[in-house]
Amino acid sequence: METLNNNNNSDNSEIKLLANRLDIHRYSEVPKYYVQPQESRPDKVMVKNDSIPIINLGGHDRAHIINQLLKASQEYGLFQAIILYVINHGVSKKLMDETLNVFKEFHAMPAEEKKIQCSKDPDGKFKIYTSTNYFPNKIRKDGEVECWKDTFLHPCPTSAENMNYWPDKPHKYREIVGEYTRELHALAHKILELLGEGLGVAPKYIYNKMGEDPTIVAQHYPACPDPSVTLGIPKHRDPSLVTILLQEEQVQGLHLEKDGQWIAVDPIPNAFVVNIGFILQLMTNGKVVGGIHRAVTNSKTARTSVVYLIYPSPKAIIKPAEEFVNEKTPTLGKFMNFEDFHAYYVKNGMKIEEEYFKIKP
Q: Are 225 and 29 in contact (CB under 8 A)?
A: yes
Contacts 24+ apart (CB under 8 A), 168-173: 168/117, 169/106, 169/109, 169/113, 169/117, 170/102, 170/105, 170/106, 170/109, 172/98, 172/102, 173/102, 173/106
pLDDT digits (tens, 9 = 90+) for 343-355: 888 777 767 766 6
Name which of 312, 282, 284, 307 is nearest 295 in CA terms. Answer: 307
pLDDT of residue 25: 66
Q: Are 22 and 222 in contact (CB under 8 A)?
A: yes
pLDDT digits (tens, 9 = 90+) for 35-77: 998 888 887 656 665 667 888 887 778 998 888 888 877 777 6
- The Cβ of residue 26 has, within 10 Å, a number of other Cβ atoms equal to 8
Which whole-number Å values give the CA distances from 152 to 26, 155, 222, 328, 345, in the listed order?
Answer: 22, 11, 14, 43, 19
pLDDT means per 10 residues in the chain (361 residues)? 31 61 75 87 68 78 87 72 38 94 96 91 87 48 79 90 92 96 91 87 75 92 93 90 91 85 85 88 84 90 95 87 82 79 78 59 37
pLDDT digits (tens, 9 = 90+) for 182-219: 999 989 888 888 888 888 887 677 777 778 889 999 99
Q: Which amino acid, residue 10?
A: S
Question: How far apart are the C-alpha atoms of 223 and 253, rounded to whole Å?
Answer: 11
Q: Are 322 and 329 in contact (CB under 8 A)?
A: no
pLDDT of residue 27: 73
For residue 303, the cross-strand partners are 221
pLDDT of residue 102: 98
What are the sequence ranges of the domains in the chain? 18-355
Question: How far apart are the C-alpha atoms of 286 and 332, rounded to whole Å?
Answer: 8
- Domain 18-355, CATH homologous superfamily name and number: B-lactam Antibiotic, Isopenicillin N Synthase; Chain (2.60.120.330)
Q: What is this structure's pTM? A: 0.87
Q: Are 89 and 187 in contact (CB under 8 A)?
A: yes
H/E segment holding residue 345: helix 338-348
Question: How far apart are the C-alpha atoms of 76 and 292, rounded to whole Å?
Answer: 9
pLDDT of residue 177: 97
Q: What angle do CA 239, 290, 257 make, to 5 degrees?
A: 115
